[in-house]
């Protein structure tokens, strides 16, 4: 199980930049000055990309920790934190 | 705390305040169309920009920020005064939204004031939940922590219930016209001040959390909760695990089963406004006891197993359930009673125009199962004879069987919510130490709910704009996020219950 946790760590690590790329690509293709929906306005995209980028970085860090075996054993008490 | 009476006092005081905060937050969302019309007219680009900010920033930026600000305060000065502060901030902001003069009266100040108050609401909400959950968990016996904290978990759904109930009641009392175009919509906001005053009075009489007091008296409170929560790898990795293995999936299940379902039956199934909201209200009433049931079961079966089962069920069953919701309202599959169809025509002169007229055709179709559908076509004809394109709206009122089926489908989805949400307070509390608990649990909770959950409508709309998609395609977002969280949670989380949260 620990081996699987570590291997999947690489997947989470790669998923972070993929999410950022997909969001930026979607923003570029949907922002339209003539469009009327929220999806066509730049502001929601700016907010979403700026809030999702640190989350995607968090996912990469999570993946890195998983890959390094930090989740092989979880703390049993708060004294270990 | 050993006395059962004392525990119930703690739970009721905490839950009442949290419920009111959710009520305050939801009435803005439920009345967003009216608010938009009153404060953010499309004709003014700045107002429209502020409207977008009010919609997106309150949930996505300010809620997690509130979690940091108030989480830190809660770990520094204590739970009781922090969540009293969030309650006053939320209630005051809500009341003031009800008092702000419209754009027509004070121009650009109106949208700016409403935006500011909405941001304060988001900030307060970000601080409230972590405080209430921590406060209750730190008072109750370890063996029944899931059961007792599940009462706090009912408040988000009951807050939605209360907001819908108050809106529908006020709408009936004042009449649709006065509610929408007059000042009727303000009453649900103004009512908040009474609810908050009662709740503040109750909370003021409560004592500080015993675990926090113990920590404080021994001088072991955190000096810098933010640094300890997110700057130290040992704790930060647990924050990340809580987010990606639990709250991320929980957030999308929560929003999809309640808000997306509500939006879906209104906009895709075209169910009439009052019937749609009544269906949601009844489904919420049916499913709410399951928060307590699953919270209680999590004390025996573990938090992880129940939460992940809820995520898996949502990921597997959303598409078939939403398909059934659509089919229930789809009149093209129903047998029409042709000789009962009624057609009405009406024409009127358009006020303050140079002879323009508005022609309305109303067709009401009746179906064998008791369903009726009203199709209203409005066409403006200019004085010179030019016809503008007709605007057609459809509204379906389901017959008894369809109504019951729709309630059952939505109640089932709310049961998924109760599985993921019922045990999560106990789960998060047990994951972090007392000295930084408020800060550490608030951030993943509000990113999971505010960002991942709050994005459900936006990303669902985004998906439906892609080529080859249909009315169910928007569901791929919550399905994928819930499935991802299920995989991460299954692999990395432990199902073991931490009985000692005093450390």
Question: pLDDT, tens digit, for every residue of B358-396?
Answer: 999 999 999 999 999 999 999 999 988 889 999 999 999
Burial letters A51-65, b for 16+ CB under 10 A, else e:
bbeebbebbbbbbbb
pLDDT for residue B2 is more than 60:
no
Contact B492, B339 (CB under 8 A): no
Owner of token pair 């703390």: A75
Confidence of residue B51 (pLDDT cuts 50, 70, 90): confident
- Give the SS3 label for residue B228: helix
Residue B59: the pLDDT is 67
pLDDT at residue B1 is higher than 60? no
Q: Report pLDDT for B52.
A: 67
Which member of B53, B241, B458 has the closest CB to residue A71?
Answer: B241
What is the band of B56 on the pLDDT scale with cuts at 50, 70, 90? low
Asked if A33 has any chain B CB less than 8 Å from its own CB, the reply is no
Tell me the shortest Cα–Cα distance from B234 to chain A, in angstroms. 5
What is the per-residue pLDDT for A25? 92
DSSP 8-state secondary structure symbol assigned to residue B235: H
Note whether A69 contacts B: Cβ–Cβ < 8 A.
Answer: no
Read off the pLDDT of each residue in B193-222 and give the average, rounded to a whole number: 89
What is the predicted ipTM? 0.91
Q: What percent of chain B has pLDDT over 90?
A: 61
CB B108 within 8 A of CB B197: no
pLDDT at A23 over 80: yes
Phi/psi of residue A66, nearest 5 degrees? -65, -45
pLDDT tier, A76 (very low <50, low <70, confident <90, very high otherwise): confident
Segment 434-463 of chain B within 8 Å of chain A by CB: 434, 447, 451, 455, 458, 461-462
Q: Are B225 and B71 in contact (CB under 8 A)?
A: yes
Residue B237 has pLDDT above 80, yes or no: yes
Contact between chains at B432 and A75 (C-beta distance less than 8 A): no
pLDDT at position B400 over 90: yes
The answer to whether A6 contacts chain B (CB < 8 Å) is: no
Q: How far is A21 from chain B, CA to nearest CA, in Å?
A: 15
The region of weakest confidence among B178-187, B462-471, B480-489 is: B462-471
pLDDT of amino acid B354: 79
Q: What is the mean pLDDT of residues B188-215?
A: 90
Q: Looking at residues B487-496, what average pLDDT do you find?
A: 92
From B163's Cα to the closest Cα of chain A, the distance in A is: 25
Predicted TM-score of the model (pTM): 0.89
Q: Which pLDDT band holds residue B254 (cuts at 50, 70, 90)?
A: very high
Instruction: Specify whether the CB–CB gap between B58 and B118 falls below 8 A.
Output: yes
The per-residue pLDDT for range B419-476, each reduced to its tens digit, is: 999 999 999 999 999 899 999 999 999 999 988 998 888 788 778 877 788 989 999 9
Residue A80 has pLDDT above 90, yes or no: no
The pLDDT of residue B282 is above 70: yes
pLDDT digits (tens, 9 = 90+) for A30-72: 888 887 777 888 888 888 898 899 999 999 999 999 999 999 9
pLDDT over 90 at B292, yes or no:
yes
Q: Which residues of chain A from 39 to 68 reach within 8 Å of chain B, CB to CB?
A: 39, 41, 43-44, 47-48, 51-52, 55, 58-59, 61-62, 65-66
Question: What per-residue confidence (pLDDT) applies to B33?
Answer: 79
Assess A31–B contact: CB distance below 8 Å, yes or no.
no
B449 in Cβ contact with B253 (< 8 Å): no
| B188 against B36, higher pLDDT | B188
Instruction: Please give the pLDDT value at position B426.
Output: 95
* Residue corresponding to tokens 């009662």: B198
- Alpha carbon distances (Å) from B20 to A58, B128, B151, B162: 32, 11, 14, 9
Which pLDDT tens digit goes with each residue over B321-352?
A: 999 999 999 999 999 998 889 999 999 888 77
pLDDT bracket for residue B149 (50, 70, 90): very high
In contact, B75 and B433? CB cutoff 8 Å: no
Say if CB B472 and CB B322 are below 8 A apart: yes
Contacts of B489 by beta carbon, 8 Å cutoff, 6+ apart: B245, B246, B249, B304, B307, B308, B311
Using an 8 Å CB-CB cutoff, list chain B residues near A16.
none
Which of these, B236, B271, B240, B277, lies nearest to B258 by C-alpha position?
A: B277
What is the sign, positive or negative, of the torsion defined by CA atoms of B30, B36, B42, B45?
Answer: negative
pLDDT at B365: 95
- What is the residue-averaged pLDDT of chain B? 90
Measured from the Cβ of residue A18, the count of other Cβ atoms closer than 10 Å reads: 11
pLDDT computed for residue A22 by the predictor? 92
Q: How confident is the model at residue B285 (pLDDT cuts 50, 70, 90)?
A: very high
Query: Could you tell me how many residues make up chain B?
Result: 503
pLDDT computed for residue A59 by the predictor: 97
Q: Quick one: pLDDT at residue B24?
A: 86
Whether B56 and A44 lie within 8 Å, measured CB to CB: yes
CA distance B166 to B20: 12
Contact between A74 and B494 using a beta-carbon 8 Å cutoff: yes
């Amino acid at each position: 199980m620990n081996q699987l946790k570590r291997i999947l760590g690489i997947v989470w690590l790669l998923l972070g930049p993929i999410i950022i790329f997909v969001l930026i690509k979607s923003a570029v293709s949907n922002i339209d000055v003539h469009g009327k929906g929220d999806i066509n306005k730049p502001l929601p995209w700016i907010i979403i990309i700026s809030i999702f980028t640190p989350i995607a970085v968090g996912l990469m860090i999570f993946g890195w920790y998983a890959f390094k075996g930090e989740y092989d054993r979880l703390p049993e008490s708060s004294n270990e934190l | 705390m050993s006395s059962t009476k004392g525990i119930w006092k703690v739970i009721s005081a905490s839950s009442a305040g949290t419920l009111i905060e959710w009520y305050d937050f939801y009435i803005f969302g439920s009345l967003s169309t009216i608010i938009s019309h009153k404060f953010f007219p499309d004709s003014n680009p700045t107002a429209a920009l502020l409207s977008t900010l009010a919609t997106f920033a309150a949930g996505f930026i300010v809620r997690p920020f509130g979690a940091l600000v108030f989480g830190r305060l809660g770990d520094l000065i204590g739970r009781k005064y922090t969540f009293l502060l969030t309650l006053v901030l939320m209630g005051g902001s809500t009341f003031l939204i009800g008092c702000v003069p419209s754009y027509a009266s004070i121009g650009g100040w109106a949208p700016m004031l409403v935006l500011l108050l909405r941001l304060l609401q988001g900030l307060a909400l970000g601080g409230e939940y972590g405080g209430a959950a921590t406060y209750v968990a730190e008072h109750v016996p370890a063996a029944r922590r899931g059961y007792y904290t599940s009462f706090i978990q009912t408040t988000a759904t009951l807050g939605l219930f209360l907001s819908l109930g108050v809106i529908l009641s006020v709408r009936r009392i004042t009449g649709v016209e006065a509610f929408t175009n007059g000042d009727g919509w303000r009453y649900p906001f103004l009512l908040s001040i009474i609810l908050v005053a009662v709740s503040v009075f109750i909370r003021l009489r409560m004592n500080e959390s015993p675990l926090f007091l113990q920590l404080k008296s021994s001088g072991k409170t955190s000096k810098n909760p933010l640094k300890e929560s997110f700057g130290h790898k040992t704790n930060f990795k647990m924050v990340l695990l809580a987010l990606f293995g639990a709250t991320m999936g929980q957030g999308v299940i929560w929003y999809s089963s309640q808000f997306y379902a509500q939006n879906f039956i209104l906009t895709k199934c075209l169910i009439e406004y009052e019937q749609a909201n009544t269906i949601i209200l009844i489904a919420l009433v049916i499913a709410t006891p399951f928060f307590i049931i699953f919270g209680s079961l999590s004390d025996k079966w573990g938090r992880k197993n129940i939460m992940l089962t809820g995520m898996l069920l949502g990921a597997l069953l959303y598409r078939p359930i939403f398909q059934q919701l659509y089919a229930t309202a789809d009149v093209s599959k129903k047998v029409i009673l042709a000789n009962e169809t009624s057609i009405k025509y009406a024409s009127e002169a358009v006020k303050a125009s140079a002879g323009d007229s508005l022609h309305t055709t109303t067709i009401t179709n009746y179906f064998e199962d008791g369903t009726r559908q009203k199709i209203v076509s409005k066409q403006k004809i200019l004085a010179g004879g030019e016809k503008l394109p007709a605007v057609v709206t459809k509204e379906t009122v389901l017959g008894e069987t369809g109504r019951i089926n729709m309630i059952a489908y939505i109640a089932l989805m709310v049961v998924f919510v109760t599985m993921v949400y019922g045990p999560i307070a106990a789960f998060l509390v047990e994951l972090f130490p007392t000295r930084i608990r408020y800060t550490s649990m608030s951030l993943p909770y509000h990113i999971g709910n505010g960002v991942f959950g709050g994005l459900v409508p936006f990303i669902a709309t985004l998906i439906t704009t892609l080529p080859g998609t249909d009315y169910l395609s928007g569901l791929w977002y919550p399905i994928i996020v819930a499935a991802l969280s299920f995989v991460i949670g299954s692999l990395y989380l432990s199902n073991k219950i931490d009985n000692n949260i005093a450390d």
